[in-house]
Amino acid sequence: MFMFNVKTNEKVHWIGLTRSEMREHVAKLGQPHFRADQIYNWIYSGKIKSFQSMANIPKSFRAILDQTSGIHPLSLVKITGQNSSLTRKFLFRLSTDEMIESVLMQEGNRTTACLSSQVGCAMDCDFCATAEMGFQKNLSVGEIVDQFLFLQQKSEKIITNVVFMGMGEPFLNYTRVIKAADLLNEPDGIDLGARRITISTVGIIPRIKQFTKEGHRYKLAISLNGATQNQRLQTMPAAKKYPIHMLIDAAKNYYETAKRFPTFEYVLMNNLNDRTTDAENLIKLIGNLPCKVNLIPYNEIGGNYKRPSHGRLTHFINALKNAPFTVTVRWSNGTEIDAGCGQLAVNAGGGVQS
């Protein structure tokens, strides 16, 4: 039966397949291609949980689908946070038993899904909880998209934005992340606007160049977290391979080619990168590059790094008032359930059972 993965003898899952891939599969089962179109519509816009819910699919074909394939590559283990909470964290189990986390955030009219792209992370950023897991594996396209579909099922409002800022470095799983974003953006499927999808990277320069060359319309966010090379090296080992001046050059090339503003994420950590001189160095570093800088007060994970005091934050922000680029302050919601930026790490204890 073709829908089994011959290497693992596991069922292949429909979530993560494109329309053309689905047509290939149903053709091998002797079905007309419009059956694939029906399945595609059910899976990506119908919020169904089983093949038996696909009312316009013949019962006999539904039975074959049940025997030979599955829908969800993920299983939901638990949800941390109540339905009324502005932020909820979701724990998922992969078919290979590893676990990942995703976050659903509500702020005004904006509902954002924060998705993971890897199990753990190889970047070893010193201030990030995910780094403590180490790198285990890349997620499949289906495992990425399935996070969104589960979160949408549990959300009272339509998800308006997606950020690839969960567990892992998206640009080290580049091909699958782009394909997942394409599926989220597909007009006949999930239909999330390209400008509502943000892909974040610690600064994998070759992939930034590839992203630029390929002309993707998704937003690009770069984790800067320092105004000098030495500052980045203190907390981000990737800075050794991808120096800060080369990273800024790649961001400039992105703007000049794509005509879109890159976003720089700057996590503020006490006595490390939060001095007014650091703000001045940040202005010198970025210069006149049209961009947005998101300042993120550090979300503590019990390690050596602390969030700056209100006074230090205020002084830093004030030092950027005349900067030639847009500056915003992003306070992470959900820190009380370890769902804030940099806090994701698999923890199976507690939470609300789904």
pLDDT band at 352 (very low <50, low <70, confident <90, very high): very low
- Cα separation of 90 and 132, whole Å? 19
The most confident of the ranges 9-13, 201-205, 301-305, 347-351 is 201-205
Residues labelled as active-site residues: 101, 341
pLDDT band at 332 (very low <50, low <70, confident <90, very high): low
Q: What backbone torsions phi and psi does residue 86 show, to the nearest 5 degrees?
A: -70, -25
Sheet holding 197-201, edge to edge: 326-329, 292-297, 263-268, 219-223, 197-201, 161-164, 110-114, 99-107, 87-94, 74-80, 352-353
Helix (H, G, I), strand (E, B), or coil: what is residue 284?
helix
Where in the chain is CATH 1.10.150.530? 4-70
Where in the chain is CATH 3.20.20.70? 74-353
The residue to which tokens 């953006």 are assigned: 185
Tens of pLDDT along 263-311?
999 999 999 999 999 999 999 999 999 999 999 998 876 678 889 999 9
Q: Under CATH, which number does the domain 74-353 receive? A: 3.20.20.70
Element (H, E) at 292: strand 292-297
Say yes or no to pLDDT of 333 above 60: no
Q: Under CATH, which number does the domain 4-70 receive? A: 1.10.150.530
Q: Which amino acid is at 194?
A: A
Tens of pLDDT along 115-146?
999 999 999 888 887 878 888 999 999 999 99
- Cα separation of 191 and 206, whole Å? 29
Q: What is the DSSP letter of 308?
A: P
pLDDT band at 341 (very low <50, low <70, confident <90, very high): low
- Cα separation of 63 and 59, whole Å? 6
∠6-122-116 over CA atoms, to 5°? Answer: 65
pLDDT on residue 299? 82
pLDDT on residue 105? 92
Average pLDDT for 148-175: 95
pLDDT band at 343 (very low <50, low <70, confident <90, very high): very low
Q: Which amino acid is at 286?
A: I
pLDDT band at 164 (very low <50, low <70, confident <90, very high): very high
Contact 113, 100 (CB under 8 A): no
Q: What is the DSSP letter of 69?
A: E
Average pLDDT, the chain: 89
Where does residue 129 rank: exposed (0-12), middle (13-18), buried (19+ CB within 10 A)? buried
Say yes or no to pLDDT of 349 above 60: no
Contact 342, 299 (CB under 8 A): yes
- Cα separation of 39 and 94, whole Å? 22
Q: What is the pTM of this model?
A: 0.90
